[in-house]
Amino acid sequence: MQRVAAFTDTYLPTVNGVTYTVQTWRERWHQRGGRMDVVFPDAPAYDPDGEREHPTRSVGFPFYEGFRFGLPGVPEPVKRSEPEVVHAHTPFGLGLSALYLARRIDAPLVASYHTPTAEYADYLAKGPVATAVEGTARRYERWFMNRADVVVAPSEPARDHLREIGVSTPVRIVPNGVDADFFSPVDTAQVAAFRDRHDLPDGPLVGYTGRHGYEKNLTEIPPAVAAADADPTLVFGGEGPAREEVEAAAAETDVDTRFLGFLDREELPTFYSALDAFLFPSPVETQGLVALEANACGTPVVGVDAGALADTVEDGTNGLHFPEGDTAAFAAAVDRVLAEADQFRENCLAYRGTASATHAVDVLADVYDDANSLR
Do 253 and 309 belong together in one domain? yes
Task: Encode 24-44: b = buried (16+ Cβ within 10 Å), e = exposed.
Answer: bbbebbeeeebbbbbbbbebe
**Co-location of 143 and 249 in the same domain:** no
- Whether residues 363 and 330 share a domain: the answer is no
Question: Does 310 fall in a domain?
Answer: yes
What is the count of structural domains for the chain?
2
Average pLDDT, the chain: 90
For residues 14 and 99, membership in a common domain is answered with yes
How many angstroms from the chain centroid is the CA of residue 360?
A: 14
Residues 244 and 348 in one domain: yes
What is the rounded distance in angstroms from the CA atom of residue 104 to the CA atom of residue 97?
10
Per-residue pLDDT, 64: 60
Q: Are residues 230 and 313 in the same domain?
A: yes
Q: How confident is the model at residue 155 (pLDDT cuts 50, 70, 90)?
A: confident
Would 29 be classed as within a structural domain? yes
**Per-residue pLDDT at 121:** 57
What is the model's pTM?
0.79
Q: Residue 182: inside a domain, yes or no?
A: no
Poorest-pLDDT segment among 5-19, 24-38, 118-132: 118-132
**Domain assignment of residue 120, given as a range:** 3-177+356-373
Same domain, 63 and 211: no
pLDDT tens, 115-138?
776 555 555 555 666 677 777 888
What CATH number does residue 151 fall under? 3.40.50.2000
The reply to whether 233 and 292 lie within a common domain is yes
**What's the rounded mean pLDDT across residues 279-297?**
91
Neighbour order of strands in the sheet with 3-7: 53-56, 35-41, 3-7, 85-88, 109-112, 150-153, 171-173
Task: Identify whether residues 328 and 348 lie together within a single domain.
Answer: yes
- The CA-CA-CA angle for residues 298, 303, 308, to 5°, reads 100
Whether 361 and 333 share a structural domain: no
Statement to judge: residues 226 and 299 lie in one domain: yes
**Interval 209-236: pLDDT, tens:** 998 988 899 999 999 999 999 999 999 9
Q: How confident is the model at residue 184 (pLDDT cuts 50, 70, 90)?
A: very high
Helices and strands (DSSP H and E) totals, the chain: 15, 15
Is pLDDT above 60 for 247? yes
What is the C-alpha to C-alpha distance for residues 192 and 19, in angstroms, rounded to an integer? 29
C-beta atoms surrounding 214 within 10 Å:
19
Rg over alpha carbons for the chain, rounded to the nearest Å, is 20
Q: Is the predicted pLDDT of residue 12 greater than 90, yes or no?
A: no
Same domain, 141 and 268: no
